[in-house]
Amino acid sequence: MTIDDLKRAASHRAVEYLRSGMVVGLGSGSTSRYATLRIGELVRAGVLRDIVAVPTSIDTANLAISEGIPLTTLEEHPRIDVTIDGADEVVPSLDVIKGLGGCLLREKIVAAATTTEIIVVHDAKMSRRLGTVSPVPVEVIRFGWKNTRRAVERTGVARTALRLAKNGEPFITDEGNYIIDCTYDGIDDPIALNARLNGIPGVVETGLFVGMTEIVVVAASSGITVLERP
């Protein structure tokens, strides 16, 4: 199976948790895209009825609209039943790193409002120690970003890099911010690191999603594995 096959398989398995009448969070990125496409198929077929969805990015919102998925907002529905999203790294505790797609702020806001956060990944994203597979994206405001970067480096970061777009200019998030990608030699205490980073003036949010995931669906060539928080 190709990586795309694995992503599709994991996403389709996660969609099986949805029921008619739910408020659904739609994640961003290539894996979550397969989930949104599958939800659209089920909505059009009448299998999923009366659902409304909160997208985590402008791209996801546009895809959902094209698929006929009714959209809503957190103002209209402050509590979400199920969110399906991807991740860049997952450890056995079900803590994850997200944000290489650039949508970590909206993704975390949606995750915080969700009863059941489902993460879908292929097995290459699994690790034993957080921070050994993926850097930690840190979203920062543009004003004074170099000072913010220096403060971030003092948290023990081995390397930091301002994320760039394909045109070589700084990558801009949907909320108009920059992202600093931070590479650690493993993270022993993600809760403490997340708190320390969020305490830096100029930091908006981090890609450390700690204690927020209820279910992880992992696709491998040998099949699908579902991990659940005890």
Using the CB atoms, write b or e for 118-134: b if 16+ within 10 Å. Answer: bbbbbeebbbeebbebb
∠14-50-53 over CA atoms, to 5°? 55
Mean per-residue pLDDT, 41-65 = 97
* The predicted structure's pLDDT at residue 2: 87
Examine the residue annotation and report whether 205 is marked as an active-site residue of this protein. Answer: no
Report the mean per-residue pLDDT for the chain: 96
pLDDT digit string, tens, across residues 173-203: 999 999 999 999 999 999 999 999 999 999 9
Per-residue pLDDT band at 1 (split at 50, 70, 90): confident
The dihedral through the CA atoms of 170, 173, 178, 184 has a sign that is negative
Residue 96: strand, helix, or coil: strand
Sheet of strand 208-209: strand arrangement:
89-90, 96-97, 208-209
Q: Residue 215 belongs to what H/E stretch? A: strand 215-220
User: Considering 41, 76, 107, 153, which one is annotated as catalytic?
Assistant: 107
pTM above 0.85, yes or no: yes
pLDDT digit string, tens, across residues 77-129: 999 999 999 999 999 999 999 999 999 999 999 999 999 999 999 999 999 99
List of domains in the chain: 3-127+210-219 (3.40.50.1360), 136-204 (3.30.70.260)
